[in-house]
Chain A
């Protein structure tokens, strides 16, 4: 693919609002996870909660979109000058020439979960104030963000579980290549809810500790929430030397099982190889791999095998989910922002929470500082859906 300029990017996670707290945590190897105290949930698990999400007030004209997921979206949009960058791009290109491509897995389902506790005792009806399209529907965050900026171009939500907000980069790049748009607002927003906390618990995939990706003692995920956004534009003729680009993407399907990865990491390997081919790069061109690394025994075993097959033990790698938690449909976006920070500041981030990594990989246990030109970021999900992105400097 033709490289695209990532002209603005931001992430809000349990580590704090915007890039700076995320960067500081990556440098320190710190974690934002805590024992679960979300809503009325009683489960022996840890979470990555974004503080202050429910205090966020949506504009009155967009009140129908009010739900935790869209509050988190708004909180994320106003960090790091991102909203201003989108407005400037809209002024430059026209508001009908910017597409919106966002990932989420559960959208505003928390509103529905809470509404089911308030059903009419006689009729069973949901309460009057429940707004399906504004909260529950998977498209809600896409419609909300588009309306928030007054953008008039194409808009879509990608919802392929935990690969959602990596795949938005690929979808946006295709639509830019087709000439339908000149810029794309991409990203992911996923927020804590009972469906995922109790659902992953039912599959025995949640850890009772803070998650320990790729550790030999790993025993499951810690669920987090996040809003991450990036603005993609065509690369200008005169590219600033510090520009960060989307260089390639690769997508694949496992065709194996709904909730377990292919044991040999077949789909993961295909996605990484396709991303390298799309970027015109060889494995040795990758300076760091941000692993999907959920900390489930099966994901990390399959992913480790796929990485070893392609890269041997040459590429430093880590999962940053020990710091942010697994933010599900937002994970691809969050980790694309981490990749951009790794390149911008020369950081190979430590995999927080991991002490005794699986052998065979150069797993980063303590943060290293060095020049980073290209990062591969993996995002895999339920249903065997895989996406790898490559971010980097210009060749």
Chain B
């Protein structure tokens, strides 16, 4: 038999990036989640990072702007060169506006879709733009597990760190569809979160996490409005973990994952 690890895989959290409705960045989000400041919901503001070359900047769709913004917040907070990092991208869907435009064109009399729209339709668009913007040539895992996409991404990222003994940047993100898809998939706005995970525990780590499947039910947030956000946007299912980090509170956090299983994340501040 091959050797395997006896304990659940674990990693240290080195830095965090967040962007969502009324959540401008991780420090602002942490202040809200720790109860220091009140949450004032406001539409997520997306901008294409300057790091993108001009052509890609022009072509960047909403999920690309979202993913790059949170990824760069995390790498800048840690002072780490993103070019060196393996990445895990996880989202429930690609870019909703782009997808709608393609479906509308394909249902019309003239089915010629634009080349840019087509290449922006791939689920790994954000991963592609990220590697072009940062020069990252390491592996990029690009995942989807519907509403459990954050947990699936976190499990993959922790596993990579534990098995490969190298840092890994997790970027989980979701944005809304326009009508008529919005009625079928009512994601209200954009939310993204990035966690830079490292194998070693040292003075620079925010805390350590390990992950395994559980039958338990997912944690909710005490604030009903924030819990509504958690349930509304798949990537925001990360909020109970972010709240534990913001409050510096060690313990078990259970996150939504699959129909039949949740992800238990043990956080040690």
Contact = CB atoms under 8 A, between A and B. Distances in A.
B123 A138 contact: yes
B136 A180 contact: no
Interface string B238-261: 000000000000000000001111
Dominant secondary structure at the A interface: mixed
Contacts, number: 228
Interface string B152-180: 10011001101110000000000000011
B198 interface: no
Interface stretch (B39-47, B71-79, B100-108, B225-233): B100-108
Contacts of B107: 113, 116-117, 119
B4 to A, nearest CB: 4
A171 interface: yes
B132 A175 contact: no
Contact-size category for B: 35 or more
A164 B142 CA distance: 8
B103 to A, nearest CB: 4
A70 interface: no
Nearest to B53: A257
Contacts of B146: 133, 137, 139, 143
Interface in B1-18: 1-9
Nearest to B126: A383
Contact of B131 (A2, A119, A132, A384): A384
Interface string A84-108: 0000000000001000000001000
B135 interface: yes
B204 interface: no
A167 B144 CA distance: 13
A270 B86 CA distance: 14
A324 B179 CA distance: 37
A276 B69 CA distance: 35
Contacts of B156: 156, 171, 174-175
Interface string A111-151: 01100110100001110001011001111001100110000
A395 interface: no
A382 to B, nearest CB: 5
A112 B103 contact: yes
Contacts of B180: 119, 124-126
A384 B128 contact: yes
Interface stretch (A9-17, A20-28, A197-205, A347-355): A197-205
Contact of B119 (A130, A254, A382): A382
Nearest to A383: B128
A258 B125 contact: yes
Contact of A180 (B56, B93, B159): B159
Nearest to A387: B139
A29 interface: no
Interface in A169-227: 170-171, 174-180, 194-195, 198-200, 202-203
A318 interface: no
A177 B163 contact: yes
A42 to B, nearest CB: 8
Nearest to B10: A178
A255 B135 contact: yes
Contact of A203 (B115, B134, B185): B115
Contacts of B213: 96, 153-154, 180
Interface residues on A, range: 35 or more
B127 interface: yes
B159 A178 contact: yes
A234 B1 contact: yes
A112 B4 CA distance: 43
A157 interface: yes
A160 B124 contact: yes
Contacts of A2: 2-3
A34 interface: no
B151 to A, nearest CB: 9
B267 interface: no
A384 B155 CA distance: 24
B145 interface: yes
Given A159-B123, A203-B119, A236 B1 contact: yes
Contact of A258 (B4, B56, B104): B56
Nearest to A267: B137
B259 to A, nearest CB: 7
B183 interface: yes
Interface string A329-340: 000000000000
Given A96-B213, A383-B122, A383-B127, A237 B9 contact: no
A154 B155 contact: yes
A152 B135 contact: no
B105 to A, nearest CB: 8
Contacts of B32: none
Contacts of A130: 184
Interface string A255-273: 1111100000011001000
A325 interface: no
Interface in A23-44: none
A383 B124 contact: yes
B127 A160 contact: yes
28 contacts: A96-B261, A105-B123, A116-B107, A119-B180, A124-B179, A124-B180, A133-B146, A143-B258, A153-B261, A156-B143, A159-B142, A160-B127, A160-B141, A176-B4, A177-B4, A177-B5, A179-B9, A180-B9, A194-B106, A194-B111, A195-B106, A199-B113, A203-B115, A236-B1, A252-B139, A258-B125, A381-B124, A383-B127
9 cross-chain pairs, A with B, having the tightest CB-CB distances, nearest first = A383-B128, A251-B139, A199-B118, A159-B123, A179-B4, A116-B107, A138-B144, A2-B2, A160-B142
Interface of A: 2-4, 96, 105, 112-113, 116-117, 119, 124-126, 130, 132-133, 136-139, 142-143, 146-147, 152-161, 164, 167, 170-171, 174-180, 194-195, 198-200, 202-203, 234-237, 251-259, 266-267, 270, 381-385
